[in-house]
Amino acid sequence: MLPVKKILIIEDNLLQYKVTDRMLANAQIGRFQSDWAQTYEEGLRLLLSGDYAACLLDYQLGERNGLDLLRAAREERCETPVIFLTADSSEQVDEAAMEAGAADYLVKGEITPRMVERSIRYSLKLAEAMRELRLLATHDALTGLLNRRAFDALLNEEVQRARRFNHPLSMIIVDLDHFKSVNDTYGHAAGDAVLVAAARRIESGLRGIDRVARIGGEEFAVLLMETPAQEAIIVARRLVAEMQAAPIQATASVSLPITLSAGVASLPVSSAPNFSLQVAADQALYAAKHAGRDRAVLAS
């Protein structure tokens, strides 16, 4: 039996809601359960809850405009696919709905149960494709971590926020020691297995609010939110110890002892405007490598 998908209907007319709800009940392929919001405010609140597979949104909500509601939802990063219901079939409405972020639109006088179901299934497939594209654009394909581009954008935002509110922020740059020898000796498939396992170990040693990215071949970056230098170096040393604790399974028959070096830098509230968190962490990483690897160093 197909799972029931929750659909939000934002419509200020009770009769039109009942007509749309009946169409959903008569769906031939999918199974739908609808909730009704009669006002702009209630509709926006429910849409932002993230509890719905899709939303059917009336173009005109009394004195308020459905386009404004959709724009407000998209500003809050709501990804629920929205289908406009409108009495106007003009191209202007079509273009305005698409520009606001609608997945589709249906003309009320022409809607049939089959059209509603087709539109919902199309919108769900489109939303899934968009999620996959966003994931590919922001995440490393091998490890699933943030990629360099996404991390750089995040770093810039968090540095600005830390400076504005005088909050601590720390960064760790991690490099797997002698990783090239893994690829050279056991092949790139083994190297990939080591990278994935290392990524999982690094992730497991962090809090939910922290962020980790793969920013180079065997190089990872960690952003520690609301974390001063004294705490950040403890985290970095823990990551080093956890990597030391057990070998990594590189192939079915080969386990390799892998160590890492880490450079730590923190953003003090009094730092100069030209202070670069990433440059400082890079310099600390170089110091850790120069001192013999398999250790964490805090930038001075």
Tell which of 82, 115, 136 closes a domain: 136
Q: Let me know if 229 is exposed, middle or buried by CB neighbors in 10 A (0-12, 13-18, 19+).
A: middle
Supply the range of the domain harboring residue 265. 148-298
One domain, residues 195 and 81: no
In the predicted model, is pLDDT for residue 198 greater than 80?
A: yes
Q: Is residue 142 part of a domain?
A: no
Q: Give the domain CATH number at 264.
A: 3.30.70.270
Return all residues near 115 (Cβ < 8 A) that are at least 6 apart: 106
One domain, residues 203 and 269: yes
One domain, residues 131 and 180: no
One domain, residues 131 and 205: no
pLDDT of residue 62: 76
Structure confidence at residue 114 as a pLDDT band (50, 70, 90):
confident
pLDDT of residue 144: 93
Q: Is residue 225 part of a domain?
A: yes
Q: Parallel, antiparallel, or unpaired: how do β-strands 4-10 and 54-58 relate?
A: parallel
Domain count, the chain: 2
Instruction: Enter the tokens of residue 162.
Output: 């830390």
CA 166 to each of CA 44, 107, 158, 281: distance values in angstroms, whole numbers, following the listed order: 34, 52, 11, 20
Q: Is residue 106 part of a domain?
A: yes
End-to-end CA distance of the chain: 62
Q: Which residue has the higher pLDDT, 281 or 112?
A: 281
CA distance 293 to 176: 9
Tell which of 104, 136, 168 closes a domain: 136
One domain, residues 111 and 155: no
Closest CA to 298 of 203, 140, 170, 118: 170
One domain, residues 226 and 124: no
Q: What mean pLDDT do residues 243-264 have?
A: 95
In the predicted model, is pLDDT for residue 90 greater than 70?
A: no
One domain, residues 173 and 102: no
CA distance 128 to 81: 10
* Cβ atoms within 10 Å, residue 150: 17
Closest CA to 209 of 176, 235, 233: 235
Q: Is residue 143 part of a domain?
A: no
Q: What mean pLDDT do residues 18-27 have?
A: 87
Tell which of 106, 136, 166 closes a domain: 136
Q: Is residue 141 part of a domain?
A: no
One domain, residues 261 and 189: yes
Closest CA to 17 of 57, 64, 52: 57
Closest CA to 219 of 261, 157, 169, 264: 261
One domain, residues 70 and 23: yes
One domain, residues 179 and 287: yes
Closest CA to 24 of 44, 40, 5, 43: 5
Q: Give the domain CATH number at 101.
A: 3.40.50.2300
**Cβ(61)–Cβ(40) under 8 Å?**
yes
Q: Is residue 213 part of a domain?
A: yes
Q: Is residue 102 part of a domain?
A: yes
Task: Using CA atoms of 282, 286, 288, 291 in order, give the dihedral in degrees to the nearest 10.
Answer: -160
In the predicted model, is pLDDT for residue 241 greater than 90?
A: yes
pLDDT of residue 200: 96
One domain, residues 178 and 288: yes
pLDDT of residue 4: 84
CA 182 to each of CA 140, 177, 185, 187, 218: distance values in angstroms, whole numbers, following the listed order: 20, 10, 5, 7, 11
pTM: 0.67
One domain, residues 159 and 294: yes
pLDDT of residue 280: 94
